[in-house]
């Protein structure tokens, strides 16, 4: 077969093999299992120059993996099979790309994630640059379930060395590949930041330096030099000592104690393009608006019965790995919903801290993977091989994952301390989605985050997004969210933040977008109700008309609130780590 010059002959041989694999007890199958060249034959012809032979070899491999006896045999040859399948993702033939996806999904289903991860790491520098993004995307998806592999220090150091090597030659890399490297590194850090820092510390100076810069650039660890110098020590930087002892902040203020935002008044600023009765939905996941679709399974799963009516006596340490498996993007839609239902019930448990300590990062990363990166699949004239490989679920399932993040923010906010940066980034990227429901739910999740977590840190994380000039949708989503942070900050905190915050506000209030101008006015009103009249000297760059508009809304809210600004700031302040 492998030496035949005629593609039709090679294809016919594989078609015959497919038929014989349907009767695994046949003599031919026994012969194949005893032939050490069988796996080499498959991997070689998956990369066959003729696409029909390649398709036949791929289908033969998939059929073989479905059978337990062949799966065990091929398991020791993943080093050849996986790279060959990855190569199909960049084929010009859609049939090859589709079957390559299917083959990789079967590999993920049948084989241990740690084994596949080892293959991907070892082949990272060998595959072509066009294939590397797909390999890295697959590696990113496997990291949350490959703790055993990365728990070995030499393995962690090996992958960090390879990622650094790719970044060091970045002038020759495409942006897609650079982004994929960054995503793998980010996912690794959130899997086990301590092991990553230890691994970086053992690298030579040049790769160590490039990974340090990446940590800082992604706001993952701004004090990396301190942590490397003090690794293995229980001491933490002074700025973080209070964080460890921080008690969970109180729930968001109720409508009775919080002043009404200007969202309901549309007279002075043009209306937002929001569907009726949705723009002002309270971020309360224990009730569903009557305007919501009654058939929406996502919202039904978020409406939980009282905890006393649930099966609270469950072995969550044993069941959580199954929940993670159901939440995988490769599981069926039914499994995803079942997994989310169990995850929400687990989130409500306050008596299993050991479960959350072990699994919170993996659960959160699974949810973030489910909502994707927010990029438009067809932005460059069609789906890329990487995007096609991921095959993101439809909007209803993406919405499900967003609601899962909201549930974690509601019931387990204190576990987000190490993940604020990546969660904010992924939720803001959802503003690029073309579906209103996704954008709106992501903004409600951001609101949950802004009202539940440390306001000072949230302000620090969100402020840089306000100055982005490449994506107005992200700026708008962030501007709408940051006002919930501003109202919880102290006057000294906002005074210190104004030099970085105000240039973005001034720039956005001059935007052509009515929605963005409106969001800026609301943000300035929030700042005023913390700082009082001390804010006005900072507003010299506003036009008289803009300043008057801000003043009108300030006076209107004073009247609605029945008090004055400045005095309310201390009442609104939630306990924060300064």
| CATH number for the domain harbouring residue 487 | 1.25.10.10
What pLDDT was estimated at residue 333? 81
Which residues fall within 8 angstroms of residue 190, CB to CB, at 6 or more apart? Answer: 361, 364, 365, 418, 419, 422
Task: Compute the distance between CA of residue 219 and CA of residue 205 in angstroms, rounded to an integer.
Answer: 21
Which helix (H) or strand (E) segment holds residue 212: the answer is helix 205-217
Hey, what are 535's tokens? 């804010």
What pLDDT was estimated at residue 349? 87
Average pLDDT over residues 256-264: 34
Does 274 reside within a domain? no
Whether the Cβ atoms of residue 388 and residue 97 lie closer than 8 Å to each other: yes
What pLDDT was estimated at residue 252? 36
Structure-token match 């590949």, residue found:
177
Structure-token match 């026994």, residue found:
30
Residues 172 and 311 in one domain: no
Hey, what are 209's tokens? 């330096």
Task: Compute the distance between CA of residue 456 and CA of residue 574 in angstroms, rounded to an integer.
Answer: 11
Average pLDDT over residues 477-494: 93
Range of 225's domain?
A: 146-233
The proportion of the chain whose per-residue pLDDT surpasses 70, expressed as a percent, equals 70
Residues 307 and 218 in one domain: no
Residues 413 and 460 in one domain: no
Which residues fall within 8 angstroms of residue 425, CB to CB, at 6 or more apart? Answer: none
The sign of the dihedral angle between the CA atoms of 511, 441, 569, 256 is: positive
* φ/ψ bin of 566: left (φ > 0), alpha (ψ from -120 to 50), beta (otherwise): left
Hey, what are 154's tokens? 């030499």
What pLDDT was estimated at residue 393? 44
Whether the Cβ atoms of residue 475 and residue 508 lie closer than 8 Å to each other: yes
The answer, yes or no, to whether residue 153 has pLDDT greater than 70, is yes
Q: How confident is the model at residue 249 (pLDDT cuts 50, 70, 90)?
A: very low
What pLDDT was estimated at residue 57? 78
Measure CA 280 to chain center.
Answer: 26
Q: How many CA atoms lie within 13 A of 136 on its CB side?
A: 26
Q: How confident is the model over 52-78, as pLDDT tens digits?
A: 877 887 787 887 777 766 777 677 778
256 versus 138: the higher-pLDDT residue is 138
| CA-to-CA dists, residue 572 to 168, 188, 451, angstroms | 48, 37, 11
What pLDDT was estimated at residue 24? 57
Hey, what are 439's tokens? 């954008």
92 versus 31: the higher-pLDDT residue is 92
Residues 320 and 441 in one domain: yes
Q: How confident is the model over 419-439, as pLDDT tens digits?
A: 999 999 999 999 888 888 888
The answer, yes or no, to whether residue 307 has pLDDT greater than 70, is no
Task: Compute the distance between CA of residue 453 and CA of residue 460 in angstroms, rounded to an integer.
Answer: 12
The answer, yes or no, to whether residue 470 has pLDDT greater than 70, is yes
Say how many C-beta atoms besides its own lie within 10 A of residue 34's C-beta: 9
Structure-token match 């796996």, residue found:
39
Question: Nearest 5 degrees, angle CA 261-CA 301-CA 442?
Answer: 40
Average pLDDT over residues 517-532: 92
461 versus 267: the higher-pLDDT residue is 461
Q: How confident is the model at residue 203 (pLDDT cuts 50, 70, 90)?
A: confident
The answer, yes or no, to whether residue 569 has pLDDT greater than 70, is no
Does 276 reside within a domain? no
The answer, yes or no, to whether residue 167 has pLDDT greater than 90, is no
The answer, yes or no, to whether residue 574 has pLDDT greater than 50, is no
Does 24 reside within a domain? yes
The proportion of the chain whose per-residue pLDDT surpasses 90, expressed as a percent, equals 26
The rounded mean pLDDT for the chain is: 75
Residues 294 and 160 in one domain: no
The answer, yes or no, to whether residue 303 has pLDDT greater than 70, is no
Task: Give the least confident one: 175-189, 243-257, 503-517.
Answer: 243-257
Q: Which of 54-63, 245-254, 307-316 has the highest mean pLDDT?
A: 54-63
Burial 292-311 (b: 16+ CB within 10 A, else e): beeebbbbebbebeeeeeee
Average pLDDT over residues 451-460: 92
Which residues fall within 8 angstroms of residue 309, CB to CB, at 6 or more apart? Answer: none
Which of 233, 266, 290 is the endpoint of a domain? 233
What pLDDT was estimated at residue 101? 86
Give me the helices (H) in 260-331, please.
297-302, 316-327
Residues 538 and 396 in one domain: no
The answer, yes or no, to whether residue 297 has pLDDT greater than 50, is no
Q: How confident is the model at residue 198 (pLDDT cuts 50, 70, 90)?
A: confident
Does 168 reside within a domain? yes
Residues 285 and 345 in one domain: yes
Does 268 reside within a domain? no
What pLDDT was estimated at residue 482? 94
| CATH number for the domain harbouring residue 104 | 1.25.40
Task: Compute the distance between CA of residue 400 and CA of residue 297 in angstroms, rounded to an integer.
Answer: 8
Residue whose C-alpha is closest to residue 461's, from 398, 506, 416, 513: 416
Burial 47-84 (b: 16+ CB within 10 A, else e): ebeebbbbbbbbbbbbbbbebeebeebbbeebebbbbb
Which residues fall within 8 angstroms of residue 530, CB to CB, at 6 or more apart? Answer: 486, 487, 489, 490, 491, 494, 565, 566, 569, 572
Give me the helices (H) in 290-352, please.
297-302, 316-327, 333-347
What pLDDT was estimated at residue 25? 56
Average pLDDT over residues 543-550: 91
Q: How confident is the model at residue 263 (pLDDT cuts 50, 70, 90)?
A: very low
What pLDDT was estimated at residue 87? 87
Q: How confident is the model at residue 446 (pLDDT cuts 50, 70, 90)?
A: very high
The answer, yes or no, to whether residue 254 has pLDDT greater than 50, is no
Residues 445 and 495 in one domain: no
Which of 177, 202, 233 is the endpoint of a domain? 233
Does 131 reside within a domain? no
Task: Compute the distance between CA of residue 471 and CA of residue 469 in angstroms, rounded to an integer.
Answer: 6
Q: How confident is the model over 336-367, as pLDDT tens digits?
A: 888 898 999 999 888 888 999 999 999 999 99
Residues 447 and 459 in one domain: no
What pLDDT was estimated at residue 34? 55
What pLDDT was estimated at residue 174? 72
Does 118 reside within a domain? no
Hey, what are 568's tokens? 């309310």
Residues 446 and 459 in one domain: no
Whether the Cβ atoms of residue 190 and residue 422 lie closer than 8 Å to each other: yes
Q: Which of 89-98, 493-502, 556-565 has the highest mean pLDDT?
A: 493-502
What pLDDT was estimated at residue 280? 35
What pLDDT was estimated at residue 459? 94
Burial 162-188 (b: 16+ CB within 10 A, else e): bbbebbeeeeebeebbebbbbbbbbbb
Whether the Cβ atoms of residue 464 and residue 514 lie closer than 8 Å to each other: no
Q: How confident is the model over 114-147, as pLDDT tens digits?
A: 889 999 998 888 888 888 888 998 998 889 888 8
Residues 436 and 473 in one domain: no
Task: Give the least confident one: 66-70, 272-276, 494-498.
Answer: 272-276
Say how many C-beta atoms besides its own lie within 10 A of residue 495's C-beta: 16
Does 257 reside within a domain? no
Task: Compute the distance between CA of residue 42 and CA of residue 2 in angstroms, rounded to an integer.
Answer: 10
21 versus 378: the higher-pLDDT residue is 21
Average pLDDT over residues 30-39: 60
Residues 545 and 514 in one domain: yes
What pLDDT was estimated at residue 562? 67
Which residues fall within 8 angstroms of residue 546, CB to CB, at 6 or more apart? Answer: 509
Q: How confident is the model at residue 19 (pLDDT cuts 50, 70, 90)?
A: low
Q: How confident is the model at residue 20 (pLDDT cuts 50, 70, 90)?
A: low
The answer to whether the predicted template modeling score (pTM) of the entire model surpasses 0.75 is no
What pLDDT was estimated at residue 505? 92
Say how many C-beta atoms besides its own lie within 10 A of residue 513's C-beta: 15
- N- to C-terminal Cα separation, the chain: 70
What pLDDT was estimated at residue 55? 82
Question: Nearest 5 degrees, angle CA 118-CA 121-CA 122?
Answer: 85
Which of 202, 233, 264 is the endpoint of a domain? 233
Average pLDDT over residues 549-571: 69
Question: How many distinct structural domains can be found in the chain?
Answer: 4
The answer, yes or no, to whether residue 524 has pLDDT greater than 90, is yes
Average pLDDT over residues 32-42: 63
Task: Compute the distance between CA of residue 57 and CA of residue 85 in angstroms, rounded to an integer.
Answer: 10
Q: How confident is the model at residue 170 (pLDDT cuts 50, 70, 90)?
A: low
| 395-411 vs 353-371: helix crossing angle, rounded to 10 | 150
């Amino acid at each position: 077969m492998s030496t035949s010059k005629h593609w039709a002959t090679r294809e016919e041989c594989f078609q015959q093999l497919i038929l014989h694999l349907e009767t695994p007890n046949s003599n031919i199958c026994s012969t194949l299992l005893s032939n050490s060249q069988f796996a080499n034959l498959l991997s070689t012809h998956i990369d066959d120059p003729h696409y029909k032979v390649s398709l036949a070899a791929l289908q033969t491999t998939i059929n073989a993996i479905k059978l337990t006896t062949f799966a065990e045999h091929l398991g020791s040859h993943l080093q050849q099979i996986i790279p060959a399948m990855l190569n199909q993702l960049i084929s010009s033939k859609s049939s090859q790309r589709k079957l390559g996806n299917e083959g990789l999904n079967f590999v993920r289903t049948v084989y241990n994630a740690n084994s596949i991860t080892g293959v991907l790491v070892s082949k990272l520098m060998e595959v072509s640059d066009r294939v590397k993004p797909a390999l890295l995307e697959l590696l990113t998806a496997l990291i949350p379930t490959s703790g055993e592999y990365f728990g070995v220090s030499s393995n962690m150091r090996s992958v960090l060395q390879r990622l650094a090597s790719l970044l060091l030659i970045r002038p020759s890399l495409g942006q897609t590949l650079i982004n994929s490297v960054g995503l793998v590194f980010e996912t690794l850090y959130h899997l086990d930041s301590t092991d990553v820092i230890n691994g970086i510390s053992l690298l030579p100076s040049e790769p160590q330096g490039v990974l340090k810069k990446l940590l800082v650039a992604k706001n993952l660890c701004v004090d990396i030099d301190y942590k490397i110098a003090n690794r293995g020590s229980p001491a933490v930087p002074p700025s973080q000592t209070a964080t460890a002892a921080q008690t969970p902040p109180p729930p968001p203020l109720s409508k009775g104690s919080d002043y009404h935002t200007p969202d309901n008044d549309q007279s002075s600023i043009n209306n937002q393009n929001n569907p009726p009765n949705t723009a002002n939905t309270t971020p309360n996941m224990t009730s569903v608006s009557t305007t919501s679709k009654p058939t929406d399974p996502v919202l039904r799963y978020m409406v939980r019965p009282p905890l006393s009516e649930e099966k609270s006596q469950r072995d969550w340490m044993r069941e959580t790995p199954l929940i993670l498996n159901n939440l995988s993007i490769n599981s069926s839609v039914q499994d995803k919903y079942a997994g989310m239902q169990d995850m929400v019930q687990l989130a409500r448990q306050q008596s299993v801290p050991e479960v959350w300590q072990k699994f919170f990062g993996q659960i959160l990363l699974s949810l973030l993977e489910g909502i994707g990166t927010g990029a438009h699949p067809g932005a460059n004239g069609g789906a890329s091989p990487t995007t096609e490989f991921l095959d993101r679920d439809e909007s209803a399932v993406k919405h499900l994952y967003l609601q899962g993040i909201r549930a974690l923010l509601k019931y387990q906010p204190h576990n987000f301390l190490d993940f604020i940066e990546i969660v904010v980034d992924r939720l803001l990227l959802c503003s690029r989605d073309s579906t209103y429901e996704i954008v709106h739910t992501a903004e409600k999740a951001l609101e949950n985050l802004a009202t539940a977590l440390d306001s000072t840190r949230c302000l620090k994380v969100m402020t840089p997004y306000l100055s982005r000039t490449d994506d107005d949708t992200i700026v708008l989503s962030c501007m709408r969210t940051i006002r919930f942070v501003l109202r919880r900050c102290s006057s000294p905190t906002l005074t210190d933040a104004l030099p970085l915050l105000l240039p973005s506000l001034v720039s956005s209030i001059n935007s052509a977008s009515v929605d963005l101008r409106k969001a800026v006015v609301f943000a300035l009103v929030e700042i005023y109700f913390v700082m009082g009249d001390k804010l006005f000297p900072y507003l010299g760059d506003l036009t008289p008309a803009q300043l008057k508009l801000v003043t009108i809304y300030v006076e209107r809210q004073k009247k609605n609130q029945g008090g004055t600004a400045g005095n309310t700031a201390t009442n609104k302040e939630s306990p924060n780590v300064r």
